[in-house]
Amino acid sequence: MEQWQDQGIVLAVRRHGESGAVVSLLTENNGRHAGYVRGAHSSKMRGTLEVGNLVDARWQSRVEGNLGSLTLELSQSFAPRFMQDPVRLAALQSAVALCDAALPEREGHPGLFHGLNVLLETLESDIWAPAYVMWELALLRELGFSLDFSRCAGGGDAGNLAYMSPKTGRAVSAEAAAPYKEKLLPLPDFLKPGGRNSEPEEVLTGLELTGYFLTHWVFAHHSHGVPEARLRFQERFEKSLSEDMREAV
């Protein structure tokens, strides 16, 4: 009998049979791991199986490579905190969907587990939106797609970075980028050296930046592309920004 106990974050719940579900977790020590949960649609378990929830998990199987079964107990619930804030709820749904779609199964990512847990806590704060962009950068790095903000790819001033090369993922200064800036991706201020401006407009620029690399690097060969939840989150964030601008006029 193969088994383990661990903490995990619920990434996805897929109905299986009349009363069960296959649940995907991002665990601290066992990576992204799925298992069958009996009675998943009972009133008690529905609350436990909200995506984004932190759970105490016990997995067991007769054979290591099999799906196995999961027994879960709720440790901390996040999604209900944002039921009145559809944009933050969409951010939560986006983060867990990205992990579920991008991470190889049963490959350890303890740093990403802790990072996602911190992000879910941070969604309640005033800095949640730039923190989300930073989390996506960490996800890209964890998957082997690091972006370089340390120097100018064209040999320009590293203190005046303004763009990002879509081909190399390296930053470019305003001066070096001048001849071909239309082909580059704008760099949000809060990702520049010493940058502090994390206003919603800059966050949207950040989402467009990370979204580009998620599309063209991480999910380029995935049959379903970038998860719908990630696309929906950016759309809702942009819509909320437009609504705020109209109200300010």
Residue 202 lies in a domain: yes
Whether 93 and 114 map to the same domain: the answer is: yes
**Higher per-residue pLDDT: 139 or 221:** 139
Q: Which of 47, 77, 107 is the last residue of a domain?
A: 77
What global pTM score does this model have? 0.95
Whether 133 and 194 map to the same domain: the answer is: yes
Whether 102 and 44 map to the same domain: the answer is: no
Whether 26 and 67 map to the same domain: the answer is: yes
User: What value does the mean pLDDT take over residues 226-239?
Assistant: 98
Whether 57 and 19 map to the same domain: the answer is: yes
Q: How far apart are CA 170 and CA 164, in angstroms?
A: 6
Q: How much is the mean pLDDT over the chain?
A: 94
Asked if 38 and 19 count as a contact pair (C-beta separation under 8 A), the reply is: yes
- Domain range for residue 95? 87-149+187-248
Per-residue model confidence as pLDDT tens digits over 3-24: 999 999 999 999 998 889 999 9
Residue 120 lies in a domain: yes
pLDDT of 243 reads: 78
Residue 27 lies in a domain: yes
Q: Which of 77, 109, 135 is the last residue of a domain?
A: 77
Q: Residue 87 is encoded by which pair of tokens?
A: 């944009």
Sort strands 171-173 and 161-164 into parallel, antiparallel or unpaired. Answer: antiparallel
Whether 46 and 136 map to the same domain: the answer is: no
pLDDT of 166 reads: 96
User: What value does the mean pLDDT take over residues 225-249?
Assistant: 87
Whether 30 and 145 map to the same domain: the answer is: no
Per-residue model confidence as pLDDT tens digits over 204-220: 999 999 999 999 999 99
Whether 128 and 67 map to the same domain: the answer is: no
CA 114 vs. chain centroid, Å, equals 12
Share of the chain above pLDDT 90, in %: 85
Question: Can you say whether residue 56 is alpha, beta or left, with left for phi > 0 and alpha for psi between -120 and 50 degrees?
Answer: beta
Say which CATH number the domain at 15 has. 2.40.50.140
DSSP string for residues in 107-121: ---HHHHHHHHHHHH
Please, which residues have CB within 8 angstroms of residue 244's CB and are 6 or more apart in sequence? 200
Residue 172 lies in a domain: no
DSSP string for residues in 177-224: HGGGGGGSEEPPGGGSTT-----HHHHHHHHHHHHHHIIIIISTT-TT
Whether 33 and 119 map to the same domain: the answer is: no
Whether 121 and 73 map to the same domain: the answer is: no
Whether 41 and 139 map to the same domain: the answer is: no
Residue 182 lies in a domain: no
Residue 137 lies in a domain: yes
pLDDT of 247 reads: 66
| In the predicted structure, residue 249 carries a pLDDT above the cut 60 | no
Range of lowest pLDDT (53-62, 64-73, 140-149, 239-248): 239-248
User: What value does the mean pLDDT take over residues 131-140?
Assistant: 98
Number of domains in the chain: 2
Whether 93 and 35 map to the same domain: the answer is: no
